[in-house]
Structure 1
Amino acid sequence: MYSRSENSQVRQDFWTAFGMYMKPVPSATGFRTNGQNYKTGIKDIYFRMRAERDFASIGIEICHKDLEMQQLYFEQFLEFKKLLEAELGESWTWEMHVPNSEGRLISRIQTVKPGPNVMDKDTWPEIISFLKPRIIALDAFWTNIKPAFEDG
């Protein structure tokens, strides 16, 4: 069992290692991609990557407090679903108005890989190989569709 500080340190070490794998990979616009803290540039739209004790996930979270606006953003993403799936090479799960870990309603488009444990360094390559190509594809997708969200 890990203490709170050990738990935090292992997670920090993982994200540092992930950042090292991402460092040589330029974004679709030619700049450096900042993995875990990817900035979409649009308020209330986030790209989230998680590495936990029993899964890894990556996705788009729409966190607008106004549920009608959140639904509007979600529907806007739905218009680009085929483009997203083509860029990713896979289908993701689409959920509108689901509670997040704090109990707040969000909308989410994500994929989850059950199994790997961030606390076990032996599974880090599995987590990294799951997250890395997807954040690269998500970045390329976002570069193409972001203007549609800027105009709205």
Structure 2
Amino acid sequence: MYSRAETSRIRKEFWIAFGQYMKPIRSASGFRVNWPNYKTGVKDIYFRMKAERDFASIGIEICHLDEELQELFFDQFKQFKNLLNSEIGEEWEWKLLVENEFGQQVSKIEKVLPSVNVMDQADWPKIISFLKPRIIALDAFWDNIKPGFEDF
């Protein structure tokens, strides 16, 4: 069992390692990116990467407080589902209006890698190999469709 400080330190070390690994890679539009803290540039739309004790995940999270607008964003993403699947090369799970770990209603489009543990440094290569191609593909996808979300 790890102390809270130890857990925090290990997680921080993982994200620093991931960031260093991704540092030389530029965005689809050629810019430098802080990959662990990817900014979509559109309010209430986030790309979330998680590395936990029993899974890793990556996804798009829509956090608009107005559920109708959240649903509208989600529907707009559905319009681009084929493009997303083509860019990423796999199906992701689509969840409309689910509760997140903070009790807020969000909508998610995500992929989960089960049975990995960020606390086990031996799992870090598996987690990084899972996250890296997906965040790069997500960036390429976003580079194409972002203009459709900027007017909201």
Bucket of the pairwise TM-score, normalised by the shorter protein? over 0.9
List gaps (5 residues or longer) in structure 2: none
CA deviation profile, 1:83-133 (whole Å, cap 9, x unmatched): 000000000000000000011110000000001100000000000000000
* 2:37 maps to 1:54: no
Residues in 2 aligned to 1:97 and 1:77: alpha-carbon distance in whole angstroms: 14
Q: Which residue of 2 aligns with 1:77?
A: 77
Residues 63-142 of structure 1: pairs in structure 2 closer than 5 A? 63-142=63-142
* 2:32 maps to 1:32: yes
Residues in 2 aligned to 1:48 and 1:93: alpha-carbon distance in whole angstroms: 14
* 2:143 maps to 1:151: no
Residues in 2 aligned to 1:43 and 1:149: alpha-carbon distance in whole angstroms: 9
Q: CA deviation at 1:29?
A: 1.0
Q: CA deviation at 1:12?
A: 0.3
Residues in 2 aligned to 1:140 and 1:65: alpha-carbon distance in whole angstroms: 27
TM superposition score normalised by structure 1? 0.98
Percent sequence identity over aligned pairs: 66
Please tell me the root mean square deviation across aligned C-alpha atoms, in Å.
0.6
Q: Which residue of 2 aligns with 1:17?
A: 17
Letter in 2 for 1:44: D
CA deviation profile, 1:127-150 (whole Å, cap 9, x unmatched): 000000000000000000000001
* 2:22 maps to 1:41: no
CA deviation profile, 1:14-72 (whole Å, cap 9, x unmatched): 00000011001111011122222110000000000000000000000000000000000
Residues in 1 aligned to 2:36 and 2:107: alpha-carbon distance in whole angstroms: 19
TM superposition score normalised by structure 2? 0.98
